[in-house]
Structure 1
């Protein structure tokens, strides 16, 4: 997790995602309009850091969202993360009167030094239409929140649950939220889907779509997409065939892993809704940005600085199918607080020859995931006999994206400049899914690879290591 001021850029990669049932756009706003089509109150919020986070509402002790707002009881907006599996909440000023204290404390550290820490407590938790008896970390006073959220809910595979490990030798049940939802609803197919929204205006808007046990009606073609194997039983990782840049194909470098069924030409790739950017091999980064006029690679940043009007033609290949990236996601703009104006970076960064360390070769965050509709199936991890898998459906049309890039870029820059003219708080806490940064970073990120200042803009790059 990475803390920032308004003048800074948090880029720790790896954490959060948001929920929503059958899709219906909502009126933008901090709380939006809650209705039956969106029981999760799913929102895309980027009003402080300039990076999107995707949040939903978690209620405890039977208090729903509207009641919580009215009486300041505990209905909390939490960042949702495919890169982690635990639920923690900032319980400052709240007494969980009906919860049982297990007597066990748990600490979740992030790469920027922020932490979520406190007792593991068990009680009723409501997420959308589902109420389950749930173990969570009560973390009053945590500095790991950001953009107004009050915690994090991981929707990753159970194998990385720190709460589960902490309760393993006790009589308490430490299953994840998703495990408990599927156990309480055995007829519900054990998958969720996500389609992240894109907004170039700072503020809050509909987050897109998250469904549990069903697909979005207008994107039902995802059911026919190739089933990409989940090769690591503890994480949403699958196999990347390569990338295509301006029509030219680039095979991966040598992988650091050797999973069953993995070809030597495939990279192990983690899909993480919590990270705003993506971590890829240096040879890929050079192929994407190295020939862009005016682009410069910064060793200290592990990223390229690029002209803001750079339109990148890029696709990622999974299961033999190309998934185009919108050029607006390949270039990141931030306000330069010392010189004025906008500074732009690559939407993909690197951490060396390969993308990551112990978890995967590559981490693809929001800059990739906003271009696909993704289905994550738990398979026999929670029920049945089939192995977990991922399906992807391209949602970016190359021609349309190219035609609208300049107008979207101008809109984003104008919004960033407006944001930069507002008073800046001394700090904005960010969190991540397994150990990292929020706000565009990841609560999954355990170690910060770099935290440097360039043109007055801090760029923190994190890698998931747990």
Structure 2
């Protein structure tokens, strides 16, 4: 009787609010999921050496030339790509929406996709066709981005872009009609930059920043968990690679509290101070004000040549690489290497499995740390996936900061799991944002009117999570 009366009262209040024209309750359903994939890494020494050189050259260009609330949550599952060794996820773009796989890169700020006019140079990856979308708008502004050994060029346009249950109308992005072979890797069709707008070569506000600044998220941040396969034999070409949580932190993936570190200066990169680095129990000299950029688009870890040499000096039998492997080091695979980072709080350990980038012979392995001269004014260190696979990372809009938390048993159990990987799909949009103002979009047909409000109340009371596969 009491429960019935309470429900009747609730329904009356909801109906009254709707009839009066007052704002309706939130239409967002918490816990949206969109799956992604990873590609396996070749152990061919020639290819490994070429990829190592590409990574070193790319960082030199990427960093050497730079000076230095509405309810909504969602997450997007990742795929680990070992060629060219990056994590990528699925977005949808256009009207009607079409899905594309893009590199998820916290070290850059541009969104771009290969165009249907790109020709044979763009390989066999799916391409974006502006003629098939009613929301395409050509800004007729040319752009070019240099990525070390590779480059992309095209023009800037606006489109409706979706990711992890969120939609941004009139999102500026690059339509690429010229592409170097360095990015010719199926199925990736482009890059989703997750750094800050001052870095954008297209001078467009990044997708994530529009959502965070427009109040579309419960919390103005996104979290990332990456899985490990480097020490797994027989991994399939495609495997689950982790998750990106948008608008909230996923408490099932970490334990304890999140340790936040403020960004350095005006937000551009996700750049923080690095206090200490320990290898095999010995402190590495990182004298001076060492800074570190947290970069999901970099596979390994780059640092000053003197510090990197000191790291390998702690590993008997290590040798400096030559030729394409210049700046890298090999070491005996039989050696277990223990590394610990400190950014001004807790000490974070890196798994010995992640110190091994690849095995280059029956006895020798290539280390994950390499020397990179990224130019005056650049950061001291680029911290890539080799470290990030060991923590739950959080990228916060306000105050601008990066956070780390210890992985939960649930997250750790996902490492090396040979699971089925779903094909990319387009999920229902739960929050839509214009580039100038925030707005909400319906979830199917349940988010408009009093019945939709009551349904959302029931969802909240029963803690149901939707999974979009």
Cα distance, 1:52 vs structure 2: 3.3
Deviations 1:16-74 (A, max 9, x none): 9xxxxxxxxxxxxxxxxxxxx9863521233xx3x63211111112345xxxxxxxxx4
Change (3 A) 1:320 1:189: closer
* CA deviation profile, 1:330-372 (whole Å, cap 9, x unmatched): 1221556xxxx575211100136xx764320111111111111
Q: Which has the higher helix share?
A: 2
Q: Retained in 1: the 8 A contact 2:209–2:397?
A: no
Alignment counterpart, residue 394 of structure 1, candidates 386, 390, 406: 406
Q: 1:310–1:331: 8 Å Cα contact kept in structure 2?
A: no
Give the length in aligned residue pairs: 334
Corresponding residue for 1:53? 86
Where in structure 2 are the equivalents of 1:334-349 lying within 5 Å?
334=359, 343-349=364-370
CA distance in structure 2 between the aligned counterparts of 1:238 and 1:57, rounded to whole angstroms: 28
2:192 equivalent to 1:162? no
- Mapped to 2, the partners of 1:279 and 1:285 lie a distance apart of 8
More RCO (CA 8 Å, sep 6+): 1
Deviations 1:71-92 (A, max 9, x none): xxx4210011000111000122
RMSD: 3.2
- Matches of 1:232 and 1:38, distance apart in 2: 27
Aligned to 1:42: 78
Paired residue secondary structure (1:182): helix
1:349-364 equivalences in 2 (<5 Å): 349-351=370-372, 357-364=376-383
Deviates more, 1:77-86 or 1:95-104: 95-104
Do the aligned residues in 2 keep the contact of 1:222 with 1:391 (CA within 8 Å)?
A: no
Going from structure 1 to structure 2, the CA distance change for 1:316 and 1:147 (only over 3 Å counts) comes to: farther
Question: Scaled by the length of structure 1, what TM-score is found?
Answer: 0.65
Q: Tell me if structure 2 keeps the 8 A contact 1:374–1:390.
A: yes
Name which of structure 1's ranges 295-304 and 367-376 shifts more when overlaid on structure 2: 295-304
User: Matched residues in 2 for 1:343 and 1:357: separation?
Assistant: 34
**Unmatched 5+ stretches in structure 1:** 17-36, 65-73, 165-173, 255-265, 380-386, 412-466
Larger radius of gyration: 2
Partner Cα separation in structure 1 for residue 382 and residue 342 of structure 2: 14
Counterparts of 2:43 and 2:317, CA distance in 1: 28
The 3 A distance-change label for structure 1 pair 194 and 224 is closer
* Structure 2 match to 1:153: 192
Matched position secondary structure for 1:178 = helix
1:273 aligns with 2:296: yes
Is 1:82–1:155's contact at 8 Å kept on the other side of the alignment? yes
Candidates 276, 296, 300, aligned match of 2:319:
296
TM-score (structure 2 length as normaliser): 0.64
Q: Distance in 2 between matches of 1:123 and 1:316?
A: 41
The alpha-carbon deviation at position 240 of structure 1 amounts to 0.3
Unaligned runs of 5+ in 2: 1-41, 63-72, 117-126, 418-469
How far, CA to CA, are the matches of 2:130 and 2:140 in structure 1? 14
